[in-house]
Amino acid sequence: MKFVRFTAGLEQLGRKESSGWEDIHAGLITRPCRLGPKANGFPDYEINTMLKARLASLPDVKLRELVIELHLLRESNLSMPEIVTAAKRLQEEWIPANASKKAA
């Protein structure tokens, strides 16, 4: 697992910093993790999951539920490999398999 710095993660999601913070407060994007005294970022699996959900045109209600699941996963006592596996399982459960084909 890797971390993506805050602004780079928002760029991947197609958001600027101010609209990114609005989406975080609205529950549409996960809260960033503290990486250091002056650095925030997102686990790469969260960015990938949220990006796939946006490509699948998940409604905001479902996206908020997915973000809650990602926060619960982040706060769990699972090891990193278990978290990544669980995130992939979340993607399979929440995001239709043909969503990426529609977006392409």
Number of structural domains found in the chain? 1
Transcribe 61-75 into DSSP letters: HHHHHHHHHHHHHHT
Cα–Cα distance, 42 to 49 (Å, whole number):
11
Mean pLDDT in the chain?
Answer: 87
| pTM, two decimal places | 0.81
pLDDT band at 103 (very low <50, low <70, confident <90, very high): very low
Q: Which residue has the higher pLDDT, 96 or 9?
A: 9
The kind and range of the H/E element at 39 are strand 39-43
Report pLDDT for 91.
83
pLDDT tens for residues 27-66? Answer: 999 999 999 999 999 999 999 999 999 888 889 999 999 9
- Given a cut of 70, is residue 94 above it in pLDDT? yes
